[in-house]
Amino acid sequence: MAKSKPVRRASDEFKKIHRIQLWAKHPEQANHKIVAPYLHLEKGGDVRREDLKALCSDRVNFPQFYVELFAGHYASMKTDAGKSHGKVFFEEDGMVKMWRQVREEVGKYFEA
């Protein structure tokens, strides 16, 4: 008899989702500075990684979004492993997407 797979809850898959509430309160943190421009770009439709990186790398025109070492912080927001920021984004066909469960949580705190 085959064993059935355990049912995965969102809390199992997104172990660090509770951090989003804290990020929303700290605009000086890198994770906030990546989520905020993502939301800004999302208003115009699909978000290209290059556009998100450009906003987060332009210290002169967008100092509120500037993230030193963007690539490392962004990579840390695509996994829950180890000491990462937490699983927020994934990429599909060159576009940055936010996991549905995470997007709902972001909506509660960043767009309130």
| Tens-binned pLDDT, residue by residue, of the chain (112 aa) | 444 443 344 455 778 888 899 999 999 999 999 999 999 999 999 999 999 999 999 999 999 999 999 999 999 999 878 888 889 999 999 899 999 999 999 999 997 6
Question: How many Cα atoms sit within 13 Å of 15 on the Cβ side?
Answer: 8
> Three-class SS string for 20-53?
HHHHHCCCCCHHHHHHHHHHHHHCCCCEEHHHHH
Q: Which residue, among 98, 106, 49, has the nearest Cα to 77 in the 3D structure?
A: 98
Contact of 5 with 93, CB cutoff 8 Å: no
Q: Taking the CB of residue 75, how many other CB atoms lie within 10 A of it?
A: 13
- The pTM (predicted TM-score) of the whole model is 0.84
Q: How far apart are CA 73 and CA 104, in angstroms?
A: 21
Angle in degrees, 0-180, between the axes of helices 30-42 and 49-57, rounded to the nearest 10: 130
Mapped onto helix, strand or coil, the DSSP state of residue 96 is: strand
